[in-house]
Amino acid sequence: MIITRTPFRVSFFGGGTDYPVWYRENGGRVISTTIDKYCYVTLRELPPFFKYEHLLRYFEREEVNTIDEIKHPSIRECLKYLDMNKSIELVHHADLPAQSGLGSSSTFTVGLLMAGYALNNQMRTKSQLAHDAIEIEQRRIGEAVGSQDQTAAAFGGFNRINFGGYRELEVTPLTISTEKMRNLQDHLILFFTGFSRNASDIAQKQIENTSSKTKELDIMVELCKEAEELLVSSENGFLEWGELLNEQWKVKKSMTNLITNSKIDEMYDEGIRSGALGGKLLGAGGGGFILFLVPPEKQEQIKVNLSSILHVPFNFDFSGSQIVYYSKNA
The whole-number pLDDT of residue 204 equals 87
The whole-number pLDDT of residue 200 equals 74
Residue 213 has pLDDT above 80, yes or no: yes
Instruction: Indicate if 215 and 205 belong to the same structural domain.
Output: yes
The mean of the pLDDT values for the chain is 93
The whole-number pLDDT of residue 92 equals 97
Residues 277-301 pLDDT 10s: 999 999 877 888 999 999 999 999 9
282: CATH: 3.30.70.890
Instruction: Indicate if 160 and 197 belong to the same structural domain.
Output: no
Span 55-68, average pLDDT:
96
The whole-number pLDDT of residue 21 equals 92
The whole-number pLDDT of residue 31 equals 97
Span 205-213, average pLDDT:
87
Instruction: Indicate if 211 and 142 belong to the same structural domain.
Output: no
The whole-number pLDDT of residue 166 equals 76
Contacting residues for 226 by C-beta, under 8 A, at least 6 apart: 244
Span 130-155, average pLDDT:
96
Span 16-44, average pLDDT:
95
The whole-number pLDDT of residue 330 equals 65
What type of residue sits at position 140?
R
The whole-number pLDDT of residue 77 equals 98
Name the more confident of 140 and 165: 140
Looking at the structure of the chain, the number of domains it has is 2
Contacting residues for 261 by C-beta, under 8 A, at least 6 apart: 286
Residues 230-276 pLDDT 10s: 998 877 789 999 999 999 999 999 988 888 899 999 999 999 999 99
What's the chain's Rg over C-alpha atoms? Answer: 20
Instruction: Indicate if 115 and 233 belong to the same structural domain.
Output: no
The whole-number pLDDT of residue 236 equals 77
The whole-number pLDDT of residue 217 equals 95
Using alpha carbons, list the distances in angstroms from residue 23 to 18, 64, 88, 146, 249: 6, 39, 37, 10, 20
The whole-number pLDDT of residue 197 equals 65
Instruction: Indicate if 12 and 61 belong to the same structural domain.
Output: yes
Instruction: Indicate if 205 and 170 belong to the same structural domain.
Output: no
For residue 111, give the H/E element and its range.
helix 104-119
Residues 155 and 172: beta-carbon distance below 8 Å: no
Instruction: Indicate if 45 and 95 belong to the same structural domain.
Output: yes
148: CATH: 3.30.230.10
The whole-number pLDDT of residue 167 equals 77
Instruction: Indicate if 66 and 148 belong to the same structural domain.
Output: yes
Domain residues for 311? 178-316
- Render the burial of 234-247: b for 16+ CB within 10 Å, e for the rest: eeebbebbbbbbbb
Instruction: Indicate if 251 and 113 belong to the same structural domain.
Output: no
Instruction: Indicate if 151 and 221 belong to the same structural domain.
Output: no
DSSP 319: -
Instruction: Indicate if 100 and 88 belong to the same structural domain.
Output: yes
Instruction: Indicate if 263 and 273 belong to the same structural domain.
Output: yes
The whole-number pLDDT of residue 67 equals 97
Which one, of 107, 109, 120, lies nearest residue 77 by Cα?
109
Residues 152-206 pLDDT 10s: 999 999 999 999 987 789 999 998 989 999 999 999 999 999 877 667 778 888 8
